[in-house]
Structure 1
Amino acid sequence: MDGRSAHDGGSVAGSESSSRMRLQLPASCDPPQPGASVKQSVWIVFGGTGHMGRSLVKSALSHGDLVTTVGRAIETSPEAIAQLNSNVCLAQLCDVRDSASVARVIEHTLARFGRIDCIANCSGYGVIGACEDQDEHELRNQFETNFMGTLHIVQASLPYFRQQNGGRYLIFSSTSGALGVPGLGPYCASKYAVEGLIEAMLYEVDAFNIKATLVEPGLVRRDELDSKTNPLPTWGHFLIKPASDAYSHATSPALHAKRMVQWLGDRQPTSAVKCAELVWQLGHCSYPPLRLLLGSYAIESIRDRLRSVTEELEDWKHLNYPVPPDAPGGERGETGDGDGDGEDVDREAREERDERDDGEDNEKYEDDMMEGTTPDAMDTLGK
């Protein structure tokens, strides 16, 4: 029995589930409407055993989609896999740091379901600690998981998406991919790299009808118990590393991320279930955005970051306008006294002067055309 035949009734269940949707993407995205019939899609969810990935898998299955859920061996219990319906959900073990492991997931999904429509990468790893305190292994592991893992997924699946002339990537980045968070320096660097990779890739694959969205959730909490395989305390997919003496005092900026985690406690500012519902809509909307920010923390923190950048641009923009050659001092922008300080030229005045010069050139060209002295006019007369 194939996945589609096993899910003939799934589309009905999906319609009933979609009719209960409360959260909705903006109309500009053309998301699936409540109660409307939605085409069944095949998903691969990397990091499908984490707090966000597991919620996304459940959301996609509840809407009648087919899903390959991917996790690492130490995170995936046999009991959890046994509960999955093999007709609609394929469980795979994979380490995204290994390109061959990622390629096998793509192959097995195609062999089981026959196609792939959406790929979500929810896998991630980070260490909470000062930049100086993190060793090379911890730095490389964060980049290998977050950046190289994303690159492996893209490189393994792009040939198939190009062949079928369509596909969708939903890459979980972070607010840490848009601003620096004290105590998460290497993690932020890896997420900045992911954002740059996906933005550049979008230009390259636009002609193949391939879309991508960077999902930037706010604080989505999941506490985990310590284990023998991981002696350090954890929070979500983060390890909390003890601070060295230089960064151990209570008010140290390097402990900001740790203090934030401790403050969260039992709070859950952003719901993983609600996030998963919106991400599912991303997989079925017509015009997905480049970025989807989820939660008030994400909105407020990135807005503050953009405001800060804008203020800096306004403060220093007067240094970035070149002095025209006909100004005193020439191209070097020196004053008549030769002190090299230069003067800022009013932008609007320059634009008006350029428009005036263009107008004079056009009038001269028209006069020359009437007299037959331009190259175009002379060619016409010769013919």
Structure 2
Amino acid sequence: MTTWFITGASRGFGREIARQALDRGDGVVATARNPEAVTRALPGYGGRLLALALDVTDEEQVRTAVAAAVEAFGTIDVLVNNAGRGLLGAVEEASDAAVRAVYDTNVFGLLAVSRAVLPVMRRQRSGRVLNFSSLGGFSSSAGFGIYCSTKFAVEGISEAMHAELAPLGIGVTLVEPGYFRTDFLDAGSLHTEDTVIADYAATSGAVRGAVPGLNHAQPGDPVKGAAAVLALADAGTPPVRAQLGSDCVAELERKIAQLHEESAVWRHLALSTDHDDAPARVRSPGA
């Protein structure tokens, strides 16, 4: 039996991943700020479901939850760092408190949970870590700059974790969903800044105005997305990154093309900055 440790499991992706893992006979430690919401949403699974209170920004509570998980199941095979929050507003509009709050959950919370779980996996010399990033983890946009910056951080952290943990038998994969029909755009998950600067009306302001119309009309199906996450957990050779959703794939391809085009235009400038005595193979590959 595989044992999962899932953060943010009371709704959205976290809840659906927990449900599907339980339905196939796995054990699940489903954590949330309100564990009663987990037990109400996932009844009838008996001892294979352990619902725990967890605020990922509280490091002591994180350590307590991980210890309880190991005591109950003896192991943690799959860690799903899913807990997160959003922030909508131009970068200049974002208050210091709002920025710190989203970083505390999306970045520092992920780090706290990982620090607590990884010693278990290292002792086992096995495990999977699935870190939830986003379409916004490789392509930022007006109105979501602060949120996207947290996911850019998760991408960098996870790439390093992949390199560090692979020799120890632990796989790390970034899960990059596009827009899925969860409650992420609801007020409970997405904070919208009160400050509005008129100069941004055509950029972040337009995004701010469009978001209500997108909510619960997103193209991604969370049931299918959760099934894809289970497939990633089971994969013999998991990818470093996995895109979920046609919108995510399209944006990935658009940005790759844009990066190639921009790099080609400015390649001469990049190559002009090496020392004159730098080896040619370093200064200009293929030149």
Q: In the alignment, what sits opposite 2:65?
A: 105
Matching of residue 157 in structure 1 with residue 117 in structure 2: yes
Deviations 1:142-200 (A, max 9, x none): 10100001111111111111111011001111111111111111111111111100101
Deviations 1:255-298 (A, max 9, x none): 24324423324423000000000101111111110111011110
Contact 2:12 2:183 in 1 (8 A): no
One-letter code of the match for 1:48? A
Measured in 2, the distance between the counterparts of 1:247 and 1:322 equals 37
**Mapping of residues 172-187 of structure 1, within 5 Å:** 172-187=132-147
SS at match of 1:269: coil
**Mapping of residues 222-371 of structure 1, within 5 Å:** 222-223=182-183, 234-235=186-187, 237-247=189-199, 249=201, 252-321=202-271
Choose the corresponding residue for 2:162, options 202, 225, 228: 202
Contact 1:125 1:145 in 2 (8 A): yes
Q: CA deviation at 1:245?
A: 4.0
Q: CA deviation at 1:49?
A: 0.9
Q: CA deviation at 1:240?
A: 2.4
Contact 1:121 1:172 in 2 (8 A): yes
Q: In the alignment, what sits opposite 1:364?
A: none
Percent identity between matched residues is 31
Cα separation, partners in 2 of 1:51 and 1:316, compared to 1, 3 Å:
same
Deviations 1:91-138 (A, max 9, x none): 001010111111111111111111111010111011111112211110
SS at match of 2:166: helix
Measured in 2, the distance between the counterparts of 1:146 and 1:114 equals 27
Q: In the alignment, what sits opposite 2:86?
A: 126
Contact 1:44 1:70 in 2 (8 A): yes
Contact 2:177 2:248 in 1 (8 A): yes
Which structure has more relative contact order (CA 8 Å, sep 6+)? It is: 2
Contact 1:50 1:123 in 2 (8 A): no
SS at match of 2:271: coil
Measured in 1, the distance between the counterparts of 2:252 and 2:51 equals 35
Contact 1:46 1:71 in 2 (8 A): yes
Q: In the alignment, what sits opposite 1:52?
A: 13
Moved over 4 A (4+): 322-325, 345-348
Cα separation, partners in 2 of 1:214 and 1:79, compared to 1, 3 Å:
closer
Contact 1:222 1:235 in 2 (8 A): no
Deviations 1:75-100 (A, max 9, x none): 84386178353311000010101111
Aligned-residue Cα RMSD (Å) equals 2.6
SS at match of 1:214: strand
Measured in 1, the distance between the counterparts of 2:258 and 2:146 equals 22
Give 5+ residue unaligned stretches, structure 1.
1-39, 225-232, 333-344, 351-383
Q: CA deviation at 1:221?
A: 2.7
Measured in 1, the distance between the counterparts of 2:25 and 2:274 equals 63
Q: In the alignment, what sits opposite 1:7?
A: none
SS at match of 2:71: helix
Contact 2:91 2:145 in 1 (8 A): yes
SS at match of 1:181: coil
Cα separation, partners in 2 of 1:270 and 1:82, compared to 1, 3 Å:
closer
Measured in 2, the distance between the counterparts of 1:322 and 1:331 equals 12
Contact 1:130 1:247 in 2 (8 A): no
Cα separation, partners in 2 of 1:245 and 1:68, compared to 1, 3 Å:
same
Choose the corresponding residue for 2:32, options 55, 71, 83: 71
- TM-score, normalised with respect to structure 2: 0.90
